[in-house]
Structure 1
Amino acid sequence: MPQKRRKIHDDRDLDEENINFGSGALDGQINTYTIDNVQKDDKTAALNGNQPLPISIVHDDSDEGVQIISDSEMREVCYGRIEGAEVMAFKVPTPKPGAISISSGFWPQVRIILRRRLGEKGNIIHAVDSTRLIIGTVDVNTAIGLSPLLDSNHGIRTTSRILTRARKDNDPLPGNDFHARYGLDLNLYGPKKHALGIGKHLSQKNLWLRTPLFVEAGVELFNPHVIKPPQPITQRAAVNLQPSYRQQGLVRTTEEIRNDVIGMFDSLHRSENLPEMDPNHRIITKLLKHQRQGLYFMLHKELTSKSDGQINNTSLWKEVHSVNGEKTYVNLITGQEEIEVPKQVFGGILADMMGLGKTLLSLSLIVHTLDDEAEEWAKLTPILSKDGKSTNPSRKGKTALPKLEQTPLVLNAKTTLLVSPLSTIANWEDQIKQHIKKGSLSYYIYHGSNRLRDPRKLAQYDLVITTYGSVASEFNHRSKKKAGSHPLEEINWFRIVLDEAHMIREQSTQQFKAINRLSSSRRWAVTGTPVQNRLDDLGALMSFLRIKPFDEKGGFAQFIMAPFKMCDPEILPKLRLLVDSITLRRLKDRIDLPPRYDRLVKLDFSDEERIIYDIYAKNASDRIKVIVGQRENSLSGKSYVHILQSILRLRLICAHGKDLLSENDLKVMNGLSKDSAIDLDSDGDEDSSCLTQSQAHEMYNLMKETCSDVCLTCVGKIGPSDTSESDGDSKGEIFGYMTSCYHIICPGCFPKYKSDIEEFAKGQKKIDCPICQQNIKISYVPLRQDIYDEERQARQKSKNVPKPVKSAIEYSGPHTKTRALLEDLNISRQKSKSLPPESPIKSVVFSGWTAHLDLIQLALDDDGFKYVRLDGKMSRTTRTLAMDTFRDDPTVLVILVSITAGGLGLNLTMANKVYVMEPQYNPALEAQAVDRVHRLGQKREVETKRYVMNDSFEEKMLILQDKKKKLASLSMDGEKGRIDKAEAARKRLEDLRSLFK
């Protein structure tokens, strides 16, 4: 049957501009924020008229107009950010071409120029976007106070922009006619001598100046509405203080917090002006400019303070003197006071976007300190203090370890410990061979059952590479008081580097706890995505880096999270100061990468495929109608699981028809009706209200497939360790608990949750679940690592998925998507024949299901393609062999990659064609996977194609992604109470109704 014509759509690269986690100036205080390279025409954008200023810019306490500022104070200052400014738009604002977005779910920021027409009566201020066209006007309240200033000839000017905002499904494209109100980030600049008069004028118009998100380079912030800074708060007072902003009665939603944080990221300092540093002689690759600047930044962050009186390189503390001359140190964010010089932090966050060469930069740092600093550290003797914290009296700046019982330290080591996902170890080995002079760096892979256990032998290496799973399994082994050594905890490492550091973002996991127990002098978190879903992700990195008082979860919540939720106007610049003091982030615009073209390919089902899909779509619709029709405000956990099953079936059919369905799924085609498909009454049956281990793990697997595997309380991801990483030591580990109504709770939250439920039950054995209102027995099924592995293997065997060893009778042939893939691969194969002596065109095929990759393998075999495969079940040796073969063998044109395994740390620049076989619940997975191809080292244009079936559930996946993010974040702080959870349940019900209308 001929394949139906495909519709190809170019994805718009609507990206946010200037998202820098970077630090241009390595020191600074909260009132000296700068941003470099602001375009020069900003200073002419005020478009002032020639009329005299229609207000008196004079001020004194008696309001009699006596000028108190001399003409000598003509230097320009920033007066602050005008609070509440808005643009009343009649067109959608257009970002600057090439603007970069922090994620596909948000529009880029848009720079706005404010314009007053000469001779225009009234107070109208026009807003002009990057197209130089008027898109709206400033709101009336702001315009009444601002227009006289813009009309003056006193050098008053503005900078303004519409900050990043969330995309919505029905958003019109930039430039289209559309009426909306957009918040305006509006800063006011002018001579310092006019500040007090302008402050008085604005206050009379009920306009207020707040601390701006950014101030231009070299410009002083002089806010006439906040002349006197608040007095520092002592540490004791800070703990009990009730913030004044609570009295406002305002609470930010999680989505607003996320938008604010992203806006803050947009305005962080650029780093073009950082000094450069040449690498050590061991590095044989010439570093690019941004890498030499990065090396300077990282080495600067590891410098020891020269004297006790010098503030350390994090710039979070300010030396102050009391009236009696006593010296103290005040934290610029919390107001806490310390009598002694605060302990120095060595390290930080390397947050360059993927593809900028973070691996080479990290290796350059490691070899740069081998001869001096690392050797000196190894000569010192570690001491365990009385409170169990690792200290070293010879190293005054060393930070304390978490308040956990520590393994006694055997020795200091010159060694850097590098912790990475298993899938990236092969890449680290390749990078060492490629960039470092042979024999000049000794390294050891600490992984596998036969790994070295002697800490003194490990300490002889310059670099030890291990996996997150190995660290967690060693911690798990020790926590169970099993015999044996624990060398990772027994060594006081010179440096710890976390590759893909966002893997520790869930602080309730053993992985996070295990990493935080390790001792070292210096610490680096390397990740292109420091904040993935929640601001709390950053808190985990603060804890690893020992940035006090934010290294404790309570401290981060008190001084960062709570002010955000309670609308403290000062929290954004404070967070920016915190991030800016330890973080370097550069964008891909720093390097010349070949262009990338993203295409969305919409395919039509064949007639047979459409019949199958419609059967299951109707069955799913019937299920939803039965379930949601009998629920007013919430869903029971079991009902929700039934719905997730229906959604998963539709996604599997879109991917490869009925070939991906299990035997139970196929029963739907044998005449099951909506009445027998789900029995709601059985939910309350006494015998069925207690889950078996098998049922619990089956339900967990379904939640994992549909990205619903999050803790009910803290909304953190719940999951078992990767057995290939953990060397089998995690057997029997409990990674979560499931209630009778299918809610899951992580081990960290479980004790409190259980206690709360027992208090709520008051001795009863059955209760109405406070979340979903289902009447259940109080019981919890532990989710265990070993049982999960056994169940997963059993499911794989029972799948009606043809393997190469199985009869082809069960295989219905390649699906529409696979046929489209083969067509594209054959075009590349034919083009490759004309390329010699150039290397052939190679392709990466991503899928979220290994079973789907199995089916694609069959089609590739039939069409004569040579390929390799990479998925999470493969050992390190097998993965390395697959990567080497794909890179070096010119006859191997395709690599099949599980998207969960391919999103972390792989270098796939030998390919330039990318195919994503199905949309994912988490769009970040797709973005990370594609960035493994479009990165530093890529020499060709990159083309990505995403296959989506027309008129199917896949077209609703983006809607579902957005809704699930909002739902998951409703209880991000894990606060107790039924109101938030009940609202989340109601929201879930609304979402499901909308998806199946």
Structure 2
Amino acid sequence: MESVDTKEELRKLMENIQPDDATKIANEEDVPVEGLTIKLKPYQFAGLEWLQKMENGSNKGGILADDMGLGKTVQAISLMVTNRSEDPVNKTTLILAPVALLRQWEQEIMTKVKPGRHRLHTFIHHSSAKKKSHRDLRDFDVVLTTFGTIAAELKKIEKYEMRKKADPNAQPRDDEKCMFIGPDCKWYRVIIDEAQCIKNKTTKTARAAFYLQARSRFCMTGTPMMNSVEELYSLIHFLRIRPYNNWNKFRTDFNQPLKSNNEAARQMAMHKLQALLKAILLRRNKKTEINGRPILNLPERRVEETNPDFSEDERNIYVALETSSAVKFNKYLKAGTVSNSYMQILVLLLRLRQACCHPNLIKDLGIVAATAEITQETMDEICRALEPNVITRIKEANGTFECPVCYDAVENPAIFTPCGHDTCPDCFSRIADPSNALAEGDEGRTAKCPECRGPINTKKVIDYECFKRIHMPEEAALDDTVDIKTDVDADDMTAVDIDDDSEDEEDEDDDDETESLDGFIVEDGAKEEDDEEAAQRRLKAALKPKKKKKAATMTIPELKKLAVRKPGWRKIYLRMLKKDFKPSSKIERTMEILDGIMTAPEGEKIIIFSQWTSLLDLLEVPVSEKGWGYRRYDGSMNAKLRADAVDDFKNRPNVRMMLVSLKAGNAGLNLNIASQVVIMDPFWNPYIEEQAIDRAHRLGQTRPVMVHRVLIKETVEDRIIALQEKKRALISEALDEKASQSLGRLSVHELAYLFGISRNVNDALPAGPRARVRQGGVGALGA
């Protein structure tokens, strides 16, 4: 039986469930709001009214979970303009957002809010533009900062709390004082944009967010859950929605029963979860209707699955790999170590996923050295200089790594110094790109490790292959590494030297690339050279770099690194791939799809997504042979190259294809000029794919969008799709709009029974909110 306090908390929570009249919004025209330079769409005005109600009610906040592109930012700005603080000492709204969005927020506030008395004085606390104390910050109406900023304060506050346990009268020392999360840091309102960034309750970012003190709190995210209901808990904990900000209560009522095999318990938990979300969350998507008409009038989107068959050789490779993986998994199962071997199992699955696309991917090498623009010799030196504790930690990983940015398994990650943490090569490419900092107006920004938030030098990284070679030579010797060499026509590679672009390497250490200085040093007793000009000639000759390998003698991985690093080498790399190119079944079927689109009279443009840049490299071979105009977009390209690729794709009629890395292009791109999308391989998370498809299916699209998913049947890809559907079903059920509307019509007794507030009700809970609708609103539950 619930305690008296818990019952009261539940009663207050349920008071926020009102009869749902979203389909009967009075205003069908855009609505003016005092203080704004624009009018709000009818659904945006309804969103503003919901935000105001949440802020002024018992929740003191909530989750605005509108779909991407529906204007969550402008709704939040409307709230800041219309619900100002009356306390001049506590008037500041703190906005936490990814670095890339800070300037966008500032620009939106400047352009959407009228000047004069309505103006919101805004400050971005980031990089060199930082204030010294919380007192300085609260002079502003709005302060914008990053997740990393508050995460950096967590260590300070935890250190102070440890001292305070020993000495209750302790006061914060200078090195323990915080500007955002300390006990004396009071905000009027906190808004977390892209709130899925705190979905893991154990991360530093999430734990720091939990410390924030504010009168009201809001989360903004188009994906309040991406994998499981546990991610929702972190948002609720930040919002301090009682009683479910307590993990034990949340786990008991939702987490455990939703995973249960007991269907009755699962259904009861789902109804309760839907009711909870109805009380704290507002979500509208592109198909939501107001007054019988959809919010957005977008063309139709259709998904077509195509299933190529493996060739005999591909099937043999896949079956052998699958059999080997099953044997290894059974060993973990028998030993009872499956949970402790999670990363090893992910790597087994990673290889199976790659084998579905092309056998060459199984031995795919990373591009860390190329992105960091350092030589292998330099990487070896960096590796030898690692601290002993870092070396021990990397060895203990036993070759199993999970990228902390995209959460995928990775075999050969980028390893940062000095901390020794890692990411996948694609995510490292984005972290290392200095043009990202320039785009964000932060030229002097120091890159930070996504794991520990410590500063890293992106020019001093290693990869795991390098680490094994230096610190685990026995392991490296056992690796079944194939050195692929390809004969190349002499005419193709005549006089091509690796050093043709040496100006890019001016800052590198050239000690390992120079001849001996013996020819310059004068031996004892020898006649000194009086001719200064001759001495200079001898010095120049002595310092002349060694002649480097010709392209014809290089391996495919070596060429790939150069192709990433120097655009001039891309053609050479593709020629090498072309010489011994063998298509996979998946590539052949993709080419059939592309051929059908390219020869059709409509002239549609196409986006092709894959998780692996090497698969896109292989696809380039037949695409270029066809003479089709295309561009690439992936994490190894700097911001200018990516922007140029997008411009060409949008503006040049002959450029009809964009080959995009899923990790680099699943968000932030507007490619609505394309109406055909090809997904070459499935990702664990269905919402990553949805975001990718939304590059084309978005505002401004004038054609129906066709999505082609290329999947191999009876492989691990089947299981990934099943997992996607399971995740999608759970989250869609929890966020179901029809269930939400029906919950708004449940009676007081039904809601009381649902949450266990009362066991003596005349009416039992209906079989489901959609099965039997009761008339009459909620009213005051305490009555």
**CA distance in structure 2 between the partners assigned to 1:424 and 1:623 by the alignment:** 42
| Partner SS, residue 547 of structure 1 | coil
Please name the residue that 1:234 is paired with. 4
Corresponding letter in the other structure for 2:282: L
Distance 1:569 1:947, change over 3 A: closer
- Tell me, yes or no, if the aligned pair for 1:844 and 1:897 is still in contact at 8 Å: yes
| Partner SS, residue 397 of structure 2 | helix
Corresponding letter in the other structure for 1:658: N
- Tell me, yes or no, if the aligned pair for 1:423 and 1:876 is still in contact at 8 Å: no
Please name the residue that 1:468 is paired with. 147
| Partner SS, residue 356 of structure 1 | coil
| Partner SS, residue 272 of structure 1 | helix
Give the superposition deviation at 1:918: 0.2
Please name the residue that 2:629 is paired with. 865
Please name the residue that 2:781 is paired with. none
- Tell me, yes or no, if the aligned pair for 1:423 and 1:901 is still in contact at 8 Å: no
Please name the residue that 1:899 is paired with. 662
Distance 1:792 1:349, change over 3 A: farther
Distance 1:514 1:573, change over 3 A: same
Please name the residue that 2:576 is paired with. 809
Corresponding letter in the other structure for 1:698: G
Give the superposition deviation at 1:922: 2.7
Matched, 1:502 2:255: no
Q: Deviations over 1:480-527 (max 9, x none)?
A: 899698544476444322233233122111121122223333321122
Give the superposition deviation at 1:618: 1.9
Q: Please, which of 702, 705, 730 is the counterpart of residue 942 of structure 1?
A: 705
Distance 1:928 1:732, change over 3 A: closer
- Tell me, yes or no, if the aligned pair for 2:406 and 2:663 is still in contact at 8 Å: no
Q: Please, which of 523, 531, 544 is the counterpart of residue 217 of structure 2?
A: 523
Corresponding letter in the other structure for 2:200: E
Please name the residue that 1:351 is paired with. 65
In structure 1, stretches of 5+ residues that fail to align are 1-229, 240-265, 304-312, 315-344, 381-411, 665-689, 710-717, 736-783, 836-840, 967-997
Higher helix share: 2
**CA distance in structure 2 between the partners assigned to 1:431 and 1:626 by the alignment:** 54
Give the superposition deviation at 1:621: 1.5
Give TM-score scaled by structure 1 length: 0.45
Please name the residue that 2:513 is paired with. none
Q: Deviations over 1:561-607 (max 9, x none)?
A: 578779499866655543322221234232232110111122345x5
Please name the residue that 1:450 is paired with. 128
Q: Please, which of 353, 358, 365 is the counterpart of residue 656 of structure 1?
A: 358
Corresponding letter in the other structure for 1:550: Y
Distance 1:467 1:600, change over 3 A: farther
Please name the residue that 1:393 is paired with. none
- Tell me, yes or no, if the aligned pair for 1:301 and 1:348 is still in contact at 8 Å: yes
Distance 1:729 1:625, change over 3 A: closer
Matched, 1:589 2:279: no
- Tell me, yes or no, if the aligned pair for 2:189 and 2:217 is still in contact at 8 Å: yes
| Partner SS, residue 603 of structure 1 | coil
| Partner SS, residue 250 of structure 2 | helix
Give the superposition deviation at 1:947: 1.4
Deviates more, 1:645-654 or 1:899-908: 899-908
Aligned length: 543
- Tell me, yes or no, if the aligned pair for 2:606 and 2:674 is still in contact at 8 Å: yes
Distance 1:601 1:267, change over 3 A: farther
Corresponding letter in the other structure for 2:92: K
Distance 1:413 1:890, change over 3 A: farther
Deviates more, 1:722-731 or 1:844-853: 722-731
Give TM-score scaled by structure 2 length: 0.55
**CA distance in structure 1 between the partners assigned to 2:675 and 2:216 by the alignment:** 37
**CA distance in structure 2 between the partners assigned to 1:433 and 1:890 by the alignment:** 36
**CA distance in structure 2 between the partners assigned to 1:883 and 1:425 by the alignment:** 23
Q: Please, which of 51, 55, 64 is the counterpart of residue 298 of structure 1?
A: 51
Please name the residue that 1:698 is paired with. 399
| Partner SS, residue 97 of structure 2 | strand
**CA distance in structure 2 between the partners assigned to 1:563 and 1:629 by the alignment:** 30
- Tell me, yes or no, if the aligned pair for 2:65 and 2:281 is still in contact at 8 Å: yes
Give the superposition deviation at 1:414: 3.5
| Partner SS, residue 532 of structure 1 | coil
Q: Deviations over 1:672-727 (max 9, x none)?
A: xxxxxxxxxxxxxxxxxx97624616312499999579xxxxxxxx9979773996
Corresponding letter in the other structure for 2:304: R
Distance 1:595 1:429, change over 3 A: farther
Corresponding letter in the other structure for 1:846: F
Aligned Cα root-mean-square deviation (Å): 5.4
**CA distance in structure 2 between the partners assigned to 1:939 and 1:953 by the alignment:** 36
Corresponding letter in the other structure for 2:54: K
Corresponding letter in the other structure for 1:597: R
Distance 1:626 1:950, change over 3 A: closer
Please name the residue that 1:615 is paired with. 317
Give the superposition deviation at 1:946: 1.1
Give the superposition deviation at 1:931: 3.6
Please name the residue that 1:289 is paired with. 42
Please name the residue that 1:791 is paired with. 463
Matched, 1:578 2:336: no
Please name the residue that 2:545 is paired with. none
Higher strand share: 1
Corresponding letter in the other structure for 1:802: K
- Tell me, yes or no, if the aligned pair for 1:868 and 1:885 is still in contact at 8 Å: no
Distance 1:504 1:600, change over 3 A: same
**CA distance in structure 1 between the partners assigned to 2:26 and 2:465 by the alignment:** 54
Q: Deviations over 1:726-781 (max 9, x none)?
A: 9657559569xxxxxxxxxxxxxxxxxxxxxxxxxxxxxxxxxxxxxxxxxxxxxx
Matched, 1:600 2:305: yes
Deviates more, 1:615-624 or 1:537-546: 615-624
Give the superposition deviation at 1:238: 10
**CA distance in structure 2 between the partners assigned to 1:492 and 1:890 by the alignment:** 55
Corresponding letter in the other structure for 1:271: A
Distance 1:579 1:612, change over 3 A: closer
- Tell me, yes or no, if the aligned pair for 1:915 and 1:945 is still in contact at 8 Å: yes
Q: Which residues of 2 match residues 15-34 of structure 1 at below 5 A?
A: none
- Tell me, yes or no, if the aligned pair for 1:476 and 1:729 is still in contact at 8 Å: no
Please name the residue that 1:913 is paired with. 676
- Tell me, yes or no, if the aligned pair for 2:181 and 2:213 is still in contact at 8 Å: yes
**CA distance in structure 1 between the partners assigned to 2:653 and 2:137 by the alignment:** 38
Give the superposition deviation at 1:541: 1.6
Give the superposition deviation at 1:293: 1.3
Distance 1:537 1:639, change over 3 A: closer
Distance 1:895 1:625, change over 3 A: same
Please name the residue that 1:847 is paired with. 610
| Partner SS, residue 599 of structure 1 | strand
**CA distance in structure 1 between the partners assigned to 2:713 and 2:622 by the alignment:** 22
Give the superposition deviation at 1:637: 7.4
Matched, 1:513 2:218: no
Distance 1:701 1:367, change over 3 A: same
Q: Please, which of 217, 236, 255 is the counterpart of residue 542 of structure 1?
A: 236
Corresponding letter in the other structure for 2:52: L
Distance 1:557 1:894, change over 3 A: same
Which of 1 and 2 has higher RCO (CA within 8 Å, sep 6+)?
Answer: 2
- Tell me, yes or no, if the aligned pair for 1:426 and 1:880 is still in contact at 8 Å: no
Q: Which residues of 2 match residues 154-169 of structure 1 at below 5 A?
A: none
Of all paired residues, the percent bearing the same amino acid is 28
Corresponding letter in the other structure for 1:358: K
Q: Please, which of 31, 39, 43 is the counterpart of residue 278 of structure 1?
A: 31
Please name the residue that 2:537 is paired with. none
**CA distance in structure 2 between the partners assigned to 1:424 and 1:819 by the alignment:** 40
Distance 1:897 1:494, change over 3 A: farther
Q: Which residues of 2 match residues 378-457 of structure 1 at below 5 A?
A: 379-380=88-89, 412=90, 414-420=92-98, 446-447=125-126, 449-454=127-132
Corresponding letter in the other structure for 1:452: K
